[in-house]
Structure 1
């Protein structure tokens, strides 16, 4: 496995740990539907939280969360919609978050952006 894949896996685990510490329940990781994949699907109270994790080893090229493109957002929304439909629960809110992680020799920085974007 390539180093960048290892870093991504480490970042996803760090994001899951961060969410658990904040009281979230992890419902799924790497949930796939058609061509879309959601890194983490979590729940807090009546809110389903769709989490995209962006991990980088350096902030030199911008914040990790700035790398989310419109096409990827569209796939996230479609995949999230499928997941929520399968839950068959009423009165659920859905929120899209980004957890940006920078991990390098200097340490680790975790930034959790709630309501990072609105679905369309």
Structure 2
């Protein structure tokens, strides 16, 4: 596995643990439908929350949230629609982005964008 893929998987695991610690209930990871993949799916305060995780080792090329473009959002919504119908979910949903940043001391920091798009 390429180094950037390994970092991405680590970022997803760290985000899963971080959100679980904030009271989110983990439901699924790496849910695939067609050409789309949802990194993490949680339940939180009656909502089904679809989370896109973006890892950055710095901000020189931009912030994580800037890399979720229109095409990516459209794919995420399509996969989420499939998940909702598959699980027969009838409550509200939300799409979040979590940026995971690694500083020069190898510490990880999170930037959470709730209700980032629809």
The alignment's TM-score, normalised by the length of structure 2, stands at 0.94
Determine the structure 2 residue equivalent to 1:97: 96
Residue correspondence of structure 1 range 22-33 to structure 2 within 5 A: 22-33=22-33
Provide the rounded CA distance (Å) in 1 between the counterparts of 2:12 and 2:89: 27
Question: Unmatched 5+ residue regions in structure 1?
Answer: none
Determine the structure 2 residue equivalent to 1:61: 61
**C-alpha distance after superposition, 1:34-86 (max 9, x if no partner):** 11100001101320000000001111111111111111100000000111111
Secondary structure of the corresponding residue to residue 23 of structure 2: coil
Q: CA deviation at 1:104?
A: 4.0
The alignment's TM-score, normalised by the length of structure 1, stands at 0.92
Instruction: Please provide the CA RMSD for this pair.
Output: 1.1
Provide the rounded CA distance (Å) in 2 between the counterparts of 1:33 and 1:62: 28
Mapped contact 1:39–1:52 kept (Cα < 8 A): yes
Secondary structure of the corresponding residue to residue 116 of structure 1: strand
